[in-house]
Amino acid sequence: MKVYIGSDHAGYELKEHIKQHFSNGYEWVDMGTNASTSVDYPDFAHPVAQAVAEKADNIGILICGTGNGMAMTANKHQGIRAALCWSKEIAALARQHNNANILVLPARFISPETAFEMIETFFSTPFEGGRHLNRINKINL
């Protein structure tokens, strides 16, 4: 599976842990940042969101300090459903009920182990469809 990933400075270290931990299972397309030097999160959220929006089965991960800035920015893109998650249960529901295509992680509030669990859950949980599809179709104006 190809995964588009991006972070700002606050998420850089977690991003690198994720890529290393999952190095054998996924093809990573790292959209930056490449250091812990202060940067602007939209500069990395937009390219990930654009890449994920290009194809229905593309998936992404965005990471910043709280996750809020990345989620707000990514969700400006048509077809993106970026979900800010802090537990594997929320990650599962984001996929099952919202068909989220970008997992957003709050690096300052979760451990790498929690991030790994959420990623495994997010990637392995299917969208339930049914009544949830009608709701998703109402998201875009």
The CA dihedral of 35, 33, 24, 116, to the nearest 10 degrees, is 90
d(CA 124, CA 137): 23
Tokens of 77: 């893109």
Q: Pick the catalytic residue: 17, 77, 97, 132?
A: 97
Q: Pick the catalytic residue: 21, 64, 77, 85?
A: 64
- Could you confirm whether 97 is annotated as catalytic? yes
Q: Which of 63, 57, 78, 77 is nearest to 31 (CA)?
A: 63
CB 3 within 8 A of CB 27: yes
Catalytic positions, written as ranges: 64, 97
